[in-house]
Amino acid sequence: MATKVHRIKTSPAILQLHIELRGTKPKVWRRVLVPETITLLKLHLVIQAAFGWGHSHLHEFIAGDGERYGTPDPMYDDPGSIASESTRLPTALNRSTLSYVYDFGDYWDHRIKVEKKLAPDPLLPLPFCVGGACATPPEDCGGIPGYADFVQAMADPDDPEHENLAEWIGVETWDPKAFDSTEANDRLAAIKH
């Protein structure tokens, strides 16, 4: 009679990531904890939630050696991009650094750095935002130059664009230094594991 082997399911190690939106002043960044086994597609969703974007544009991860990972665009046949659905973060990180580009028009370029590897913690809800700074630029505001113009116009109620921009984003004032980790974690909690 064969004996049945029971495997104990262990939690994966946790990676602490520092994700910085390049080119913004002041710096816009988030620090998130993710399971080491996360796929790049899931990491895309984590970044979207941590920054408060709407997942409405194409994205791509670019490794230090130029290897590209993304979700194929049905309008184009791009054999140069590896599917992000099946690629795990450590595979891409083995190639040195990792960039994440969201919205090829505005070209929001992020630098992803693993700050540390932590022991598994089955009680910690992952993904989880442990820190960050500054407000995320509104989508479709024109990239880094457009965001600088947006911040300037929102800071001056007499600016000719202030009223239109306030109506567009639905708030009268904009604090470029505002960040709320509770809101980020509420959005992260909605990501299916």
Q: Which superfamily does CATH assign the domain made up of 14-135+177-189 to? A: MM3350-like (3.10.290.30)
Closest to 50 in 3D by CA, of 27, 14, 23, 20: 20
Q: What percent of the chain lies above the pLDDT cut of 70?
A: 88
The model's pTM is 0.89
Contacts with 96 (C-beta within 8 Å, 6 or more apart), sequence order? 63, 64, 65
pLDDT digits (tens, 9 = 90+) for 39-81: 999 999 999 999 999 988 999 999 887 888 987 666 665 556 7
* pLDDT at residue 162, as a whole number: 93
| Separation between Cα atoms, residue 161 and residue 148, nearest integer Å | 13
Domain boundaries, the chain: 14-135+177-189, 137-175
* pLDDT at residue 7, as a whole number: 58
